[in-house]
Structure 1
Amino acid sequence: MAIIKSDMVRARIEPAIKERAEAVLEKLGMSTADAIRLLLTQIALRQAFPLELTLPPDERLPEEK
């Protein structure tokens, strides 16, 4: 049996956000580590962030003329 090497990833997150996300992930049958692994795998495969990131309308910068 081959041993798969792995690296540790650490991040700081507000406890309330972490708890809410973990509750959703649990309903999906995923762990936080699964979600992070999925995100990083998709970034590597797509060579781009896998979600469209936009500012909320009330925080957008004014149009330049």
Structure 2
Amino acid sequence: MGSTNDKIRGNWNELKGKLKAQYGELTDDDLAYQQGKEDELIGRIQKRIGESKDEVKRIIDNL
């Protein structure tokens, strides 16, 4: 969990672009990041792309 949150905090703008390229259904609202609310962000992505929370974390970790 920690590494995913660290990655989100560290370079979210870069990750956001890669996620939008890979999952065209993601909107800017889905990918809006607020510090300290990483779980909320993962939940929005999870809901939009229909994957489990663990899968979303794996996707982010592998970007």
TM-score, normalising length: structure 1: 0.26
Higher helix share: 2
The higher-RCO structure (CA 8 Å, 6+ apart) is 2
TM-score, normalising length: structure 2: 0.26
Choose 1 or 2 for highest CA Rg.
1
